[in-house]
Structure 1
Amino acid sequence: MSSQDWDGVVVTAADFQSLQAFKHELFDPKGFLRSWNDSGYGACSGGWVGIKCAQGQVIVIQLPWKGLGGRITEKIGQLQALRKLSLHDNSIEGSIPYSLGLLPSLRGVQLFNNRLSGSIPPSLSFSPLLQNLDLSNNSLSGTIPPSLANCTKLFKLHLSFNSLSGSIPSGVIGSKSLIFLSLDHNNLSGHVPDSWGNKFDGQIPEELGRLQNLSVLNLRGNHFQGPIPPSIGKISTLTQLDLSHNNLSQEIPDSFASLSRLSLFNVSYNSLSGHIPDSWGNNNSTTQNKNVSFHLQSLILDHNSLDGSIPASISNLSSLVVLNLEGNKFDSEIPEELGRLRNLSVLNLRGNHFRGPIPASIGNVSTLTQLDLSHNNLSLEIPDSFASLSRLSLFNVSYNNLSGSVPTPLAQKFNASSFVGNVQLCGYAGSTPCPSEEIPSAPSPVVSKPHPRRHKLSTKDIILIAAGALLIVMLIICCILLFFLVRRKPPSKAKDGQAVPRAEKGAPPAEAEAGGGEAGGKLVHFDGPVVFTADDLLCATAEIMGKSTYGTVYKATLEDGHQVAVKRLREKITKSQKEFETEVNVLGKIRHPNLLALRAYYMGPKGEKLLVFDHMPRGSLATFLHARGPETPINWPTRMKIVQGMTRGLFYLHSHENIIHGNLTSSNILLDEQANAKVADFGLSHLMTTAATSNVIATAGALGYRAPELSKLKKANTKTDVYSLGVIMLELLTGKSPGEAMNGMDLPQWVASIVKEEWTNEVFDLELMRDAPSIGDELLNTLKLALHCVDPSPSARPEVQQVLQQLEEIRPLDTMTVSSGDDGTGVPSTSE
């Protein structure tokens, strides 16, 4: 092999031999390395996938997400000009080659999300130009090499999700170049080296305060114990600090209150005690802090033993989005000042000893999506101001001492589990009815006088007034009884053999009327497992599950125990009766495993219209994904099963029924007992007026699912449905709700910005990253497909059929196995 550079297309002989060995020891099931031919021709002109050269020498090997297995050859040490090795998100096994550290020009090593084992080679310290070392999400063991301190240009050290043990080397802690240090989810603890002059058995060393350029410090999920070093509060450059899931104790240092650049502070799941520093957010606490602007967005202190009160100065943290104090020992009143946090999305005070009233000011925080005040000692009423919190997807005040009536919007949107455990609380589904307001008695005639005087009623007057009132009550009762006798048949006749009218067997679905009777209503059955009469339906025990633009959703329990979902449509927004019947009979015939079947509809004598569907006990995808606890993980096979199911349902609507959904959200994806997805609320726009449909499209935009072009078009099409589908895919990949603003960006924009910065692994839900070595390729390809679906240009988006084909290529049907441990709980759809 000649070492000559044929017009810049051939590598040197030494590099060619190294690349051949590199290819030979890798397992390439998808054939990405087929372009690496035996001649070496094209290697330096873009012909070889993942290779970049300079003057005939390889400077970059970049092969992420290619499904590669096998091992990394020791002969990689022959690539003396190599600057960057990027093989992340593959399934590469074995150890990291010792020779890798002997490359003098090496700047970046990105091997995260593989299956690498063994120890970190100390030879990496021989790379004087090394800047970025990311070995996270592997199975590495042993200690962190102290010699890494020789890498004086190292600014990012990411070793999380391995099995590393021992202490953090003193040289690493003394680094002046480190900006990013993430060691979470390892087994780090041990003794600090004697050279520091102290021994801290398993403690976080004070010397971390020397890292004066550090931006990110992540020690989550290790075995550190003892106090948090106050010296960390002196690292003024810190933007993210995560010490959660350790065994830390004592108080949060007051010095942390001066970290004005901090956006994330997480010390959850430790044994911390004492108070939240009173000076947190207080610009005037010290001379140095005057006029400082705080950037803290997430303050996560849950599951510790903190007590006392929430300092009022927290209200000065104007950027705060998440405040989580769950599972502590706070025993004060909730401060009114929390109502000033106008960007707050999540407020979790569950499981403390908070007492007194709920501050009405919290109802002014219109950005709230999750509010949990359950399991405290709160008293008095739920403030009326909470009725305006329209963005809430989770609300819980259960197990307090609350009384009075639940504000109507909350009672309609959330089920009984949000309110139980408050004996004197009423006005929600399943609760004791609230006492009726007293009807003021008719005023006695008063003769016009300049100075009217009150006089005491005589006994005769009292008797006459009581008799008159009794007569009025009896007349009202008689009228009510007469109305029901006319409206429905006596129960005794049904028992005596006069069957309640039912749908005739064999009649066409659109004509299978039942239960009309004297009431004059019309019930039309389509095929389904449950047959019922209009009386059965109207007399069923109903629980309001939520309200929407189209109407109200109920869970109805029939007398025989069967449950159905009933959507009562708002009367003023539906089409005329004739048009309505024509359209609804078409919808009633649509059947597909991934579409929620319309089983019946009822039209009452006064124009009321009810749609009856199968009840899905696992509820909506939105609830399944966002309203679960940390003890209920959802693995990748389950999420992919849901993605494929909803895509099949949407494809059937587009290709076989010529129906555009127009309002596809995670609240409209329902799940059966096996987590099979059922697309709901399709075709409802055909039953509604144009104005009502436009209102629904606008609502979808507020939730983050609407395609950008709909602001001008006002009419949905297949490509706008694909956009909504892509948003839901991103929702499942990230675990984030589209309604949450991420630094002022919507979910697609936020994901795109992270990917652009090559921090793609930061996008995915942490639950998924734990299995990244085995599913990394699927995650990446699904992410690429989702971003394709949410392309701002409609013409650039794929059709649903193409989406489905790619999903089935990413994860074929025969691999779709789902763990039984992924059960979630939910409620029926409350969306349009």
Structure 2
Amino acid sequence: MVFALGNCALSGQIPIWLQNCRKLQVLDLSWNHLNGSIPPWIGQMDNLFYLDFSNNSLTGEIPKSLTELKSLISGSSSSSNHTTALGIPLYVKRNQSANGLQYNQASSFPPSIYLSNNRINGTICPEIGQLKQLHVLDLSRNVITGSIPSSISDMGNLEVLDLSSNNLYGSIPASFNKLTFLSKFSVANNHLQGAIPTGGQFLSFPGSSFEGNPGLCGTIDSPCRAINNMGIQPAISSGSNSKFGRSSIFGITISVGVAIAVLVAIVMLKMSRRGVGDVVEDLDEETGRPHRLSEALGYSKLVLFQNSECKDLTVAELLKSTGNFNQANIIGCGGFGLVYKANLPNGVKAAVKRLSGDCGQMEREFQAEVEALSRAQHRNLVSLQGYCQHGNDRLLIYLYMENGSLDYWLHERVDGGSLLRWDTRLKIAQGAGHGLAYLHKEPNIIHRDIKTSNILLDEKFEAHLADFGLSRLLHPYDTHVTTDLVGTLGYIPPEYSQTLTATFKGDVYSFGVVLLELLTGRRPVEVCKGKNCRDLVSWVFQMKYEKREEEIFDSLIWNKNYEKQLLDVLGVACKCLDQDPRRRPSIDQVVLWLDGVGTEGTKE
């Protein structure tokens, strides 16, 4: 089912005997020295949903049969069991220096096709749009030519699309703004022209996603203008007949540069004055030898809160405590960076989130987290000890949670489900509920990304809500905030995609999905399951409709002695998951019901 020989110095061509592995789900031959073309029989593997041939020397065209992979078209497979434990963890490399991402079971792999950094030529055939279950498509650093098929916009689950460093011509299809789950996109270094799509996720992509295409326009640096109402071009051309001469352009450039410099100075001044009342230590110095953390080491600032357990910490000590962000200390990852374990000099264990990526997005994430957690103090929220600005990097310092995330115990650890007994799962649900109720009531914060990977567990398996990068503060008398479609597939409330407004009831929906995960042991989107089991919420309601409630519950916790409690929590979850947000209970009511489980049961 899983064949992974990445980074093994293999040479020669992809062996033909692999086509006899009819149950193959995951095929990773990346970071080798393979040559020849991609064999057409790959497309006949009915169960294959993860394919990584990146970083080899493959040539030829992408075979059309690759667009016929059944598991990536329908997501269903009659003969496969995709929850199989791997026995040993697999580590998948994504760059030359990294140790690799860890996967403990087949279902942890996202449906992906990685063909980057080869010598693949030809075009991208339009039939690729059939792969509606695909989450990652990376064809970067090849010699692919032709245009970008608009059919890719039919791949509604796509989260990563990288077509950079090829020989692509034409324009970026405007329909790509329909890809609402797209979090990473790049067409850099091609020969594209025309307008960059507007709306959707395209408002959040950095300029580096489009660089190296002089004919593209639609960014701040290169706005578009009409040509006789027939087409578009960059507003300022480089020809001799340009409306602006070289001197005008030079003058504008100087003016803009001065304005930006003044703006940066004002922002830095405000940041240096911010939070004076809460600060224990404010260090504007860099000690020790230069670190690899950033190329811009000119500015360092460490801010620790009054109640912090990390007092007297310096910037140099913080960096040293993570081994200068050694790969071995990675304990988690998010949309904007990695989380590292840190052993501080005073013996305290901390978790340091290192934010990276596009400056604008990183800064929003950083500010949202600091503002939310500086306002919110509760036993069921992660404890922010302080934060650090170091060069171009932003670091957030938390107390370390010994037992990691709820997602790890339910879905990643092979024996995790059996170790999480029902009484522990109920305690986790109650604790997370109390933390969310506090957020909604005291600082009026909408979390917007409630999920099992954002519920961290301490040594006693007490739940702590984490990751406030998408949170938004509601002012008194507000009922919602306008938002982009953000969150995680499977947890996003149905109304978000229609109204683009976030409310407290949206958090309640996401919490209802978490309750279902605790009850069933299933992920909210089981990509590798049969068609009828793919969407956890729909499957649960279907089972309830058919009066088959007993089959819903995880066999590891099902017990007649707990039957009433399990049914009570299931009832609470279903109320949270009502399609109409107006009919969902408040989180306060949910917490009241959960605290009453096992005593009075669920109240109407």
> Could you tell me the TM-score, scaled by structure 2's length?
0.51
Q: Which residue of 2 aligns with 1:775?
A: 562
Instruction: Note if contact 1:719-1:797 (Cα within 8 Å) is conserved in structure 2.
Output: yes
Q: Does residue 1:406 correspond to 2:93, yes or no?
A: yes
Distance of aligned partners of 1:411 and 1:748 in 2 relative to their CA distance in 1, 3 Å threshold: farther
Q: Which structure has the higher relative contact order (CA within 8 Å, separation 6+)?
A: 2
Instruction: Note if contact 1:314-1:338 (Cα within 8 Å) is conserved in structure 2.
Output: no
Q: Which residue of 2 aligns with 1:795?
A: 582
Instruction: Note if contact 1:515-1:534 (Cα within 8 Å) is conserved in structure 2.
Output: no
Distance of aligned partners of 1:708 and 1:411 in 2 relative to their CA distance in 1, 3 Å threshold: farther
Distance of aligned partners of 1:344 and 1:785 in 2 relative to their CA distance in 1, 3 Å threshold: farther
Please state how far the C-alpha of 1:411 moved relative to its aligned partner.
Answer: 5.1
Distance of aligned partners of 1:705 and 1:585 in 2 relative to their CA distance in 1, 3 Å threshold: closer
> Which secondary structure does the structure 2 equivalent of 1:397 belong to?
strand
Q: Does residue 1:620 correspond to 2:405, yes or no?
A: yes
Please state how far the C-alpha of 1:548 moved relative to its aligned partner.
Answer: 2.7
> Separation in 2 of the partners of 1:336 and 1:643?
48
Distance of aligned partners of 1:343 and 1:579 in 2 relative to their CA distance in 1, 3 Å threshold: closer
Please state how far the C-alpha of 1:574 moved relative to its aligned partner.
Answer: 4.2
Count, aligned residues = 352
AA aligned to 2:309 is P
Partner of residue 546 from structure 2, selected from 757, 760, 773: 757
AA aligned to 2:303 is V
Distance of aligned partners of 1:346 and 1:408 in 2 relative to their CA distance in 1, 3 Å threshold: closer
Instruction: Note if contact 1:412-1:545 (Cα within 8 Å) is conserved in structure 2.
Output: no
Distance of aligned partners of 1:556 and 1:511 in 2 relative to their CA distance in 1, 3 Å threshold: closer
AA aligned to 1:649 is G
Please state how far the C-alpha of 1:800 moved relative to its aligned partner.
Answer: 0.2
Partner of residue 449 from structure 2, selected from 646, 650, 663: 663
Instruction: Note if contact 1:588-1:600 (Cα within 8 Å) is conserved in structure 2.
Output: no
Please state how far the C-alpha of 1:629 moved relative to its aligned partner.
Answer: 2.8
Q: After alignment, is 627-636 or 527-536 more displaced?
A: 627-636
Q: Deviations over 1:764-817 (max 9, x none)?
A: 000122x2x21111111110110110111111110100100111111359xxxx
Q: Which residue of 1 aligns with 2:308?
A: 528
Instruction: Note if contact 2:375-2:443 (Cα within 8 Å) is conserved in structure 1.
Output: no
AA aligned to 1:761 is E
Distance of aligned partners of 1:563 and 1:515 in 2 relative to their CA distance in 1, 3 Å threshold: farther
AA aligned to 1:536 is E
Instruction: Note if contact 2:336-2:355 (Cα within 8 Å) is conserved in structure 1.
Output: yes
> Separation in 2 of the partners of 1:409 and 1:780?
50
Distance of aligned partners of 1:413 and 1:611 in 2 relative to their CA distance in 1, 3 Å threshold: farther
> Separation in 2 of the partners of 1:580 and 1:750?
37
Instruction: Note if contact 2:87-2:104 (Cα within 8 Å) is conserved in structure 1.
Output: no
Tell me which structure has the larger Cα radius of gyration.
1
Q: Deviations over 1:126-153 (max 9, x none)?
A: xxxxxxxxxxxxxxxxxxxxxxxxxxxx
Instruction: Note if contact 2:352-2:395 (Cα within 8 Å) is conserved in structure 1.
Output: yes
Q: Which residue of 1 aligns with 2:20?
A: 312
> Which secondary structure does the structure 1 equivalent of 2:340 belong to?
strand
Instruction: Note if contact 2:433-2:590 (Cα within 8 Å) is conserved in structure 1.
Output: yes
Q: Deviations over 1:431-466 (max 9, x none)?
A: xxxxxxxxxxxxxxxxxxxxxxxxxxxxxxxxxxxx
AA aligned to 1:314 is R
> Separation in 2 of the partners of 1:812 and 1:560?
44
> Which secondary structure does the structure 2 equivalent of 1:408 belong to?
coil
Identity %: 35
Instruction: Note if contact 1:660-1:717 (Cα within 8 Å) is conserved in structure 2.
Output: yes
> Separation in 2 of the partners of 1:712 and 1:671?
34
Distance of aligned partners of 1:409 and 1:736 in 2 relative to their CA distance in 1, 3 Å threshold: farther
Q: Which residue of 1 aligns with 2:386?
A: 600
> Which secondary structure does the structure 2 equivalent of 1:512 belong to?
strand
Q: Which residue of 2 aligns with 1:786?
A: 573
Distance of aligned partners of 1:641 and 1:576 in 2 relative to their CA distance in 1, 3 Å threshold: closer
**1:186-585 map, 5 Å:** 312=20, 314=22, 340-341=44-45, 373=86, 396-397=89-90, 406-408=93-95, 414=101, 508-510=277-279, 512-514=281-283, 516-517=285-286, 520-526=299-305, 527-531=307-311, 532-539=313-320, 540-541=322-323, 542=325, 543-559=329-345, 561-570=347-356, 572-574=358-360, 584-585=370-371
> Separation in 2 of the partners of 1:577 and 1:511?
23
Q: After alignment, is 559-568 or 735-744 more displaced?
A: 559-568
Instruction: Note if contact 2:310-2:346 (Cα within 8 Å) is conserved in structure 1.
Output: no
AA aligned to 1:763 is I
Q: Deviations over 1:609-662 (max 9, x none)?
A: 111111112111000111233484321101100100000000000000100000
**1:38-53 map, 5 Å:** none
Q: Which residue of 1 aligns with 2:200?
A: none
AA aligned to 1:514 is L
> Separation in 2 of the partners of 1:621 and 1:522?
33
* Gap regions ≥5 residues in structure 2: 1-16, 28-38, 52-65, 76-80, 106-274, 288-297, 474-481
Q: Which residue of 1 aligns with 2:525?
A: 739
> Separation in 1 of the partners of 2:410 and 2:353?
23
AA aligned to 2:408 is T
Q: Deviations over 1:246-280 (max 9, x none)?
A: xxxxxxxxxxxxxxxxxxxxxxxxxxxxxxxxxxx
> Separation in 1 of the partners of 2:97 and 2:412?
16
AA aligned to 2:452 is S
Instruction: Note if contact 2:568-2:597 (Cα within 8 Å) is conserved in structure 1.
Output: yes
* Gap regions ≥5 residues in structure 1: 1-308, 324-334, 348-360, 376-395, 399-404, 419-505, 688-692, 814-832
